[in-house]
Structure 1
Amino acid sequence: MKTAIIIRHIAFEDLGNLAPALKQHDYAVTYIEAGYDDIMQIDPLVADLVVVLGGPIGVYDESDYPFLSDELNFLESRLNLDLPTLGLCLGGQLIASALGAKVYPGTQGKEVGWAPIDLSEAGKHSPLAHLAPDETSVLHWHGDTFDLPNGSTLLASTSKYPNQAFSWGKHCLALQFHPEVTARGLERWFIGHASEIASTPDVSVNQLRLDTKRYASRLEIQAFKLWNAWLKTLV
């Protein structure tokens, strides 16, 4: 079997609907718990795929969370060789930073909730075409944003934050939003992110749950198509 290392920053932000796609493509999954497991003991070049998941901290919080420096070094080693790497939300921001781009708090407020993405022309001809706005909405949950790294290709935007997804090289994909979520899994998010929900204007658990009921099942279908299409490019 192929190997996939999954870097997880908080327990309930896991692979979600990406897990069955990895299983179908014969990946054996190993979770690395950021801040608990020592990523420096792992060879960044060994795994066939690395997936870096989301979390409620910032790339620039290295003084409070020193393990972020190790993660960035780990990613730089993989990206220097263009090895298959996927980043989701914080993971996408870490990839952007590892490629030399700036990551910083957004100036338009937090983007939390369900909404469609707008695809660039390149995005329309990429696996993200399965998440076109006429196909589904996706979950957004971030307050930070990033500049596009040199040599990357913008794939998706929203009106609030234009840099929502990019590809780099042949085997790297970074997403600001969360196509991996499931309706069942999001119930854990609503508990774990209770303080953030309560402190974010115009966001409530009730509305998030209603929108999840409306959009999540469709997203799971389209996200599986996205993962399948992208994983096929790694062969």
Structure 2
Amino acid sequence: MTRGLSGAGGTGGTGTTGGAGLTALVLRHDSAIGLGNLGPTLEAHGYEVVTVDAPSTDVSALDALAPDLVVVLGGDEAAYETDRYPYLADEIRLLEMRVAAEAPIFGVCLGAQLLAKTLGARVYQGPRKEVGWLEVEPTEAGAVSPVRHFAGVPTVQWHGDSFELPDGVERLATSPQYENQAFGIGEWLLAVQFHPEVTDEIHEEWLRAWGDELPEYGLSRERLRDERVAFGPAANAASAALLGEYLEGLAARGAARRSA
């Protein structure tokens, strides 16, 4: 479902509990890179999902603090291409307002890169794309965070940009090719470079759209389809567990704030 949040009053992203008025604003950059299997987990935790297509929406008109949660998805754009894609600059301004208020944000791939840039870190093109079903390794901090659910579980990677770790965040996961795979701040901010959202349908759409580049990385559509069959169920379970634990943390945070 898609509707606007222009000028809406809200809870300031406090992470309230239950099903009363919880809203997750999803910033989408490409219809092929959607919310996927993150959607059912959000809905199971009482969130109404509001999807905004950033390239065709006036992001600057959105009330940054109205939603209880903002989810920023992936895309072909680079976080440093704000001149080419002006809506990315609007997204960064929205994220700046949420960061200042410590209002919950969950970023995926480009979303993680936009968050890194928002937090003052350099985002840049990596030496070689990271593509395929690959494992990430939780750090010591990540082992007690929602990212722990992806320990030993291959997940989809498909990106060529990277970022320096922003000041004031915890690195939660790493990989041999890209050092910063996940980071967070407290219970309210979580960003992952990998793709926990991928469903069978999204996976197949990506293979159709971008599969021609796979041989450059020693891969093929057929191999990735086989790996989806082998690894997909565990990755789906890890995705639900990661997001579910994060949302439970937001609910606990909101409850603690109300009782303070």
Q: Over residues 44-68 of structure 1, what are the superposed CA-to-partner deviations in whole Å (9 max), with x where a residue is unaligned?
A: 0100000000011111112211111
- Residue 220 of structure 1 corresponds to 236
Preserved contact between residue 183 and residue 217 of structure 1 (Cα < 8 Å): no
| Matched-pair identity in % | 41
Q: Tell me how far apart the structure 2 counterparts of residues 44 and 169 of structure 1 sit (CA, whole Å).
A: 20
Kindly report which structure 2 residues correspond to 1:154-165, keeping only aligned pairs within 5 A, or say none.
154-165=171-182
Quote the Cα distance in structure 2 between the aligned partners of 1:10 and 1:2: 25
The TM-score, its normalising length taken from structure 2, stands at: 0.86
List per-residue Cα deviations over 1:145-170 (Å, max 9, x = no partner).
Answer: 00011000000000111110000243
8 Å CA contact retained: 2:131, 2:217: no
Question: What's the TM-score, normalizing by structure 1?
Answer: 0.95
Query: In the alignment, what sits opposite 2:225?
Result: 209
Corresponding position: 1:180 with 2:200:
no
For residues 50 and 213 of structure 2, the distance between their equivalents in structure 1, rounded to whole angstroms, comes to 29
Q: Which position in structure 1 is the counterpart of 2:161?
A: 144
| Residues 21-60 of structure 1 mapped to structure 2, 5 A cutoff | 21-60=41-80
Task: Give yes or no for the alignment of 1:83 onto 2:103.
Answer: yes
Unpaired runs of 5+ in structure 1?
Answer: none
1:167 alignment partner in structure 2? 184
Q: Bigger CA drift: 78-87 or 62-71?
A: 62-71
CA distance, structure 1, for counterparts of residue 186 and residue 88 of structure 2 = 23
| Whole-angstrom CA distance in 2 between matches of 1:185 and 1:84 | 26
* Matched ranges for 1:93-172 at <5 A: 93-107=113-127, 109-133=128-152, 136-172=153-189
CA distance, structure 1, for counterparts of residue 79 and residue 214 of structure 2: 21
Secondary structure of the equivalent of 2:97? helix
Counterparts of 1:196 and 1:26, CA distance in 2:
39
Q: Which residue in the other structure is 2:248 paired with?
A: 232
Give the aligned CA root-mean-square deviation in angstroms. Answer: 1.2
Opposite residue 139 of structure 2, the aligned amino acid is: S
The gaps in structure 2 that reach 5 residues or longer are 1-20, 252-260
Which SS does the other structure have where 2:74 is aligned?
coil
- What CA distance in whole angstroms lies between the structure 1 residues aligned with 2:214 and 2:135? 20
Query: Larger Rg: 1 or 2?
Result: 2
Q: C-alpha distance in 1, partners of 2:84/2:212?
A: 20
Specify the code of the residue in structure 1 equivalent to 2:240.
F
Q: What residue identity is the alignment partner of 1:180?
A: E
